[in-house]
Amino acid sequence: MKKNQNSTYDLKYHIVLVTKNKNEVIDEQIGEFLKENIKRLMNNKGEVFNMAYNKNHFFLLTEIKPQFAPATLINSLKSSTSRLIKNKFNLETPFWDNNYFISTVGEFSEERAKKYIKSRS
């Protein structure tokens, strides 16, 4: 768990970004470029724990500070990295698909939360 001025939080997410039409465009050079730039873009927004990629997906395990909305942050990461990739690798087509996957990850399970809330009533 982490703390800031206003809250104590444990907001970990598993995020999967998908290339447009699942085009197989992520090679080692683009994958490593994505890792480097996503880590840089996340610098003051949270912590990156793990990243991986295959030819048409990018996988991210991260913790996002509570003042940042996950959907807004994901869209920002996608638009920033898409622009960077287009400029560096001269790609003409859109890089990311509109769709993505996000799931919470943590030690505080749904069952534990239900028991905690019930014990407070």
pLDDT of residue 102: 95
pLDDT of residue 72: 97
Tell me the β-bridge partners of 119.
Answer: none
Structural domains in the chain, CATH included, are 2-119 (3.30.70.1290)
Q: Average pLDDT for residues 56-60, to the nearest whole number?
A: 97
Per-residue confidence (pLDDT) for residue 88, from 0 to 100: 96
Q: Cα dist. 59→38, 51, 53, 87, 115 in Å? A: 11, 5, 6, 22, 32
Residue 59, pLDDT score = 97
Q: Render pLDDT for 106-119 as a digit per residue (tens, 0 to 9).
A: 877 778 888 887 88
Residue-level pLDDT at 110 = 76
- Give per-residue pLDDT as tens, 32-42: 999 999 999 99
> pLDDT averaged over the chain?
93
C-alpha 107: how far from chain center = 19
pLDDT digit string (tens) for 77-106?
Answer: 999 999 999 999 998 889 999 999 999 998
What integer pLDDT is reported at residue 121 of this predicted model? 67
| Amino acid letter, residue 64 | I
Q: What is the pLDDT of residue 1?
A: 84
pLDDT of residue 52: 96
Checking if the pLDDT of 65 tops 90, the result is yes
In sequence order, what are the residues at sequence separation of 6 or more whose Cβ sits closer than 8 angstroms to the Cβ of residue 63? 2, 10, 11, 12, 13, 46, 47, 49
Q: Do 94 and 23 contact (CB within 8 A), yes or no?
A: no
